[in-house]
A and B are shown apart, each in its own frame.
Chain A
């Protein structure tokens, strides 16, 4: 499912990052990689704050909606 509609506070896994190369690389550098753990902490109309490796990372809706996650 898309990150923006993931349940808040539940840990999940990044399945696929469908952004352009440059953005994907940025996400990787900051710690968001395919297969890595991710938790949605907050969502403001699609703009999100996620927890990845104990960091809080803010993203706007465009990016967040291109990240597919899996939450059990």
Chain B
């Protein structure tokens, strides 16, 4: 009975976190919600907002917290800012928690003045109390609260100070009605705002809408399209704005806000000492964003990260460790060192003297686990002295177990063939195939998150801007594309920070060309095969795949720019946050979310799809279990062999492997293993040439990404037509590049044909662009 009562009393409220980028919003979110955060898929636009729950010890209230992308203003500029604004105005939240960076009060209050114009409960969290103290500054919190007319709580999200008081204030205020006020209603805009307000019907957000109408906000103006002429007339009447701002109300509103902030709030800050002119951050920037050394420094950092993640020769210690040092180590040590070696005719051992990098070590750990669970059970028929199969009394062959295998294969030793096949060769093989490279993706993500958290990534965007501008993109495209080396899905989502629509869409189209973590097992597996067949250096082969991707992306970006006919690139304006040491909590929360995502995927989509592939590979159209070569997959794949002949891999197994990559790129290797047992066998039995194998790798690199990435791209494009265009673009690009690689690799003279075709395409693009420009000019004149 008592329990029921407490349930009834428990209230559930929702608050939205709003604030400038880099004001410590996410730190506060993590401090409030801990590990409860989850990425919610929201109705309407498919958009990712973080939501978590704050639980009070007394548990009389449950507070859901929505973390929104950082915004400078409620006049949005980039798509992610629109997400924030739309959510704030939707009224879904009970209260807005506005976080302010105390070390940068004026700029942060700029957003606050706009939030106050919304008639919703607001609590202001004055963050970075600790930094303020370190700077020798104090802010009069009480006066700030009085002048804003809303509660202000001083906190330090990083040191988790003042959080309880903050939430207490939230609890006291979420149900208190608050009417909208505007701090700029006493300025030269007063008349205009008052008159527009007269035009509007009484209702929600009258003040907010009026100010936005005066400002000329596109979205709000659309809402009141019938008042267009009246508003224009009202604005015309304002002589002062006409004189001072050339009739530019947007500038006028912004200016008024800053001057009000300046006159009303600047006396609240008391400084004991002057701030140093050049901060530590500035000194670091002198080096890290150096006009010449900036990019090389970044490349070295990235190489180091890739080394720690992917290298099987950690720190190149093999140079000092003698050959064969780790040739016979115990199974546990095997996890840490490379035990593979070659022995020449004289018995000299080379190899087995390298340490594994952390990423490779973790991968080995998962593989060891896979072996314990799903190690293959090997059974052989017993032969007598003459090499004949020994039969038992009933005439069946006597078998002996050569290898016991993992738990599951042992458990299913006596199960029917199909059950064993579905579970061990299908589900488990597929799922472990995915899990085995999760560690490396996680390590890569860990480092990228750390770099991001320190504030370095914003600098990288800045130093890369110049180079990106040449191919028609801005530095803002850099980070999303870099993330694509980990996974295209978050990379594609990160394109929301790009303001320009064309640049954003182009960036999404380029995303798959940056080899994601899920594709890397393909390169490693095939590089190993090419090393043993034609003696190519493994690391160079893998590296060249990445280079092919980057080169294709650059050319594709140029072509996309040409086709669009847009001149120039959006200006690059970006705040560079002060450098700080990465926070364990925010980094770990981020990594944990990624990990959950991958493991969830392995357990659902991939497990299900492997069953389907296994079925299609073991049954024919008459639903009978047959040899693989007669299976549904073989038959259907066979129909399309001709299509891939020009690419050098017109073989149904190659086609099937590529198609399964659509489900998830991990599938390429796992289906090769289901199809042929091993990648080496897969290549040798098909008779595909070296050029064909490399063309196959290029094809898989550049073609349509996995369904998850296509889905992410579709929701970002927001248009079906655009999505199909992108899919067509990916298919064409991969087909053409793979064909180029195969034909030129096999018959070098075909390079001239390609040169002619490329020249033709460039000419065509140029022509289209001219035509477009002409049409545009005509449109302008009319």
- Residues of A participating in the B interface, judged by any CB pair closer than 8 Å: 9, 19, 21-31, 33-36, 41-45, 47, 49, 51, 53-60, 62-63
In the complex the two chains form, is B571's CB within 8 Å of A45's CB?
A: no
| Chain B hits for A23, CB < 8 A | 571, 573
Supposing A27-B573, A58-B574, A59-B572 touch, asked if A42 and B72 sit within 8 A by C-beta, the answer is: no
| Chain A hits for B573, CB < 8 A | 23, 26-27, 30, 57-60, 63
In the complex the two chains form, is B285's CB within 8 Å of A41's CB?
A: yes
In the complex the two chains form, is A33's CB within 8 Å of B282's CB?
A: no
In the complex the two chains form, is B571's CB within 8 Å of A9's CB?
A: no
In the complex the two chains form, is B107's CB within 8 Å of A47's CB?
A: no
Q: Which B residues from 576 to 623 make CB contacts under 8 A with A?
A: 576, 578
| Chain B hits for A9, CB < 8 A | 277-278
In the complex the two chains form, is B250's CB within 8 Å of A25's CB?
A: yes
Give the complex CA separation of A13 and B289 in angstroms. 25
Q: Which B residues from 559 to 575 make CB contacts under 8 A with A?
A: 568, 571-575
| Chain B hits for A25, CB < 8 A | 75, 77, 250-251, 254
Q: Which B residues from 72 to 114 make CB contacts under 8 A with A?
A: 72-73, 75, 77, 103-104, 106-107, 110
In the complex the two chains form, is A49's CB within 8 Å of B254's CB?
A: no
A44 and chain B: residue at smallest CB distance: B291
Supposing A42-B285, A44-B291 touch, asked if A57 and B254 sit within 8 A by C-beta, the answer is: no
In the complex the two chains form, is B285's CB within 8 Å of A36's CB?
A: no
| Chain B hits for A36, CB < 8 A | 258
B103 and chain A: residue at smallest CB distance: A54
Give the complex CA separation of A42 and B462 in angstroms. 12
Give the complex CA separation of A3 and B382 in angstroms. 86
In the complex the two chains form, is B281's CB within 8 Å of A53's CB?
A: no
| Chain B hits for A41, CB < 8 A | 282, 285
Nearest Cβ in chain A — how far from B698, in angstroms?
Answer: 33
In the complex the two chains form, is B248's CB within 8 Å of A21's CB?
A: yes
Q: Please tell me which one of the listed residues A19, A22, A35, A53 contacts residue B107 in the complex, with CB atoms under 8 A apart.
A: A53
Give the complex CA separation of A31 and B282 in angstroms. 19
In the complex the two chains form, is B251's CB within 8 Å of A24's CB?
A: yes
Nearest Cβ in chain A — how far from B269, in angstroms?
Answer: 11
Kindly state whether residue B255 has any CB partner on chain A within 8 Å.
yes
Give the complex CA separation of A29 and B578 in angstroms. 19
Give the complex CA separation of A41 and B255 in angstroms. 24
Kindly state whether residue B465 has any CB partner on chain A within 8 Å.
yes
In the complex the two chains form, is B576's CB within 8 Å of A30's CB?
A: no
In the complex the two chains form, is B572's CB within 8 Å of A49's CB?
A: no
A57 and chain B: residue at smallest CB distance: B575
In the complex the two chains form, is B250's CB within 8 Å of A44's CB?
A: no
Supposing A28-B251, A42-B285, A56-B282 touch, asked if A63 and B294 sit within 8 A by C-beta, the answer is: no
In this complex, how many residues of chain B approach chain A with their Cβ under 8 Å: the count is 45
| Chain A hits for B204, CB < 8 A | none
In the complex the two chains form, is A53's CB within 8 Å of B574's CB?
A: no
In the complex the two chains form, is B72's CB within 8 Å of A29's CB?
A: yes
Kindly state whether residue B431 has any CB partner on chain A within 8 Å.
no
B578 and chain A: residue at smallest CB distance: A56
Q: Please tell me which one of the listed residues A19, A34, A56 contacts residue B571 in the complex, with CB atoms under 8 A apart.
A: A19
| Chain B hits for A30, CB < 8 A | 72, 107, 573, 575
Nearest Cβ in chain A — how far from B182, in angstroms?
Answer: 17
Give the complex CA separation of A44 and B461 in angstroms. 13
Q: Please tell me which one of the listed residues B72, B104, B278, B459 contacts residue A53 in the complex, with CB atoms under 8 A apart.
A: B104
Nearest Cβ in chain A — how far from B461, in angstroms?
Answer: 8
In the complex the two chains form, is A33's CB within 8 Å of B285's CB?
A: no
Q: Please tell me which one of the listed residues A28, A49, A56 contacts residue B255 in the complex, with CB atoms under 8 A apart.
A: A28
Q: Which B residues from 491 to 514 make CB contacts under 8 A with A?
A: 499
Instruction: Tell me which of A24, A25, A53, A60 has the highest count of chain B C-beta atoms within 10 A of its own C-beta.
Output: A60
Supposing A47-B466, A56-B575, A57-B575 touch, asked if A33 and B289 sit within 8 A by C-beta, the answer is: no
Please list the 8 inter-chain residue pairs (A to B) with the smallest Cβ-Cβ separation, ordered nearest first. Answer: A44-B291, A28-B254, A60-B572, A29-B73, A29-B72, A58-B462, A56-B576, A63-B571
Q: Which B residues from 155 to 200 make CB contacts under 8 A with A?
A: none
Supposing A53-B104, A59-B571 touch, asked if A21 and B250 sit within 8 A by C-beta, the answer is: yes
Nearest Cβ in chain B — how far from A4, in angstroms?
Answer: 13
A-B contact pairs, 13 of them (CB 8 A): A25-B77, A28-B258, A29-B72, A44-B289, A47-B465, A53-B104, A53-B107, A56-B576, A56-B578, A58-B575, A58-B576, A60-B475, A60-B573
B111 and chain A: residue at smallest CB distance: A29
| Chain A hits for B133, CB < 8 A | none
Nearest Cβ in chain A — how far from B186, in angstroms?
Answer: 19
Kindly state whether residue B721 has any CB partner on chain A within 8 Å.
no
Supposing A21-B250, A60-B469 touch, asked if A44 and B463 sit within 8 A by C-beta, the answer is: yes
Kindly state whether residue B658 has any CB partner on chain A within 8 Å.
no
| Chain A hits for B294, CB < 8 A | 44
In the complex the two chains form, is B576's CB within 8 Å of A57's CB?
A: yes
Instruction: Tell me which of A24, A25, A53, A58 has the highest count of chain B C-beta atoms within 10 A of its own C-beta.
Output: A58
Kindly state whether residue B458 has any CB partner on chain A within 8 Å.
yes
Kindly state whether residue B771 has any CB partner on chain A within 8 Å.
no
In the complex the two chains form, is B576's CB within 8 Å of A49's CB?
A: yes
| Chain A hits for B734, CB < 8 A | none
Give the complex CA separation of A70 and B65 in angstroms. 45
B257 and chain A: residue at smallest CB distance: A28
In the complex the two chains form, is A60's CB within 8 Å of B465's CB?
A: yes
Give the complex CA separation of A35 and B262 in angstroms. 12
Extra A-B contacts (18), CB below 8 Å, given A34-B255, A47-B572: A9-B277, A22-B77, A23-B573, A29-B77, A42-B289, A49-B285, A53-B106, A54-B103, A54-B275, A56-B285, A57-B575, A58-B458, A58-B459, A58-B575, A58-B576, A59-B573, A60-B469, A62-B568
Give the complex CA separation of A35 and B291 in angstroms. 29
Nearest Cβ in chain B — how far from A2, in angstroms?
Answer: 15
| Chain A hits for B459, CB < 8 A | 58
In the complex the two chains form, is B462's CB within 8 Å of A55's CB?
A: no
Supposing A44-B294, A49-B289, A53-B107 touch, asked if A60 and B255 sit within 8 A by C-beta, the answer is: no
Kindly state whether residue B309 has any CB partner on chain A within 8 Å.
no
Nearest Cβ in chain A — how far from B82, in angstroms?
Answer: 14
| Chain A hits for B285, CB < 8 A | 41-42, 49, 56
In the complex the two chains form, is A55's CB within 8 Å of B291's CB?
A: no
Kindly state whether residue B11 has any CB partner on chain A within 8 Å.
no
Kindly state whether residue B210 has any CB partner on chain A within 8 Å.
no
Mask, B239-270, CB within 8 Å of A = 1, is 00000000010110011001000000000000
In the complex the two chains form, is A54's CB within 8 Å of B572's CB?
A: no
B568 and chain A: residue at smallest CB distance: A62
In the complex the two chains form, is A33's CB within 8 Å of B258's CB?
A: yes
| Chain B hits for A26, CB < 8 A | 77, 499, 571, 573
Kindly state whether residue B474 has any CB partner on chain A within 8 Å.
yes
Instruction: Tell me which of B290, B466, B568, B573 has the highest count of chain A C-beta atoms within 10 A of its own C-beta.
Output: B573
Q: Please tell me which one of the listed residues A22, A29, A63 contacts residue B572 in the complex, with CB atoms under 8 A apart.
A: A63
Supposing A54-B275, A58-B458 touch, asked if A33 and B572 sit within 8 A by C-beta, the answer is: no
Nearest Cβ in chain B — how far from A32, in angstroms?
Answer: 8
| Chain A hits for B576, CB < 8 A | 49, 55-58
Q: Which B residues from 267 to 299 make CB contacts under 8 A with A?
A: 275, 277-278, 281-282, 285-286, 289-291, 294
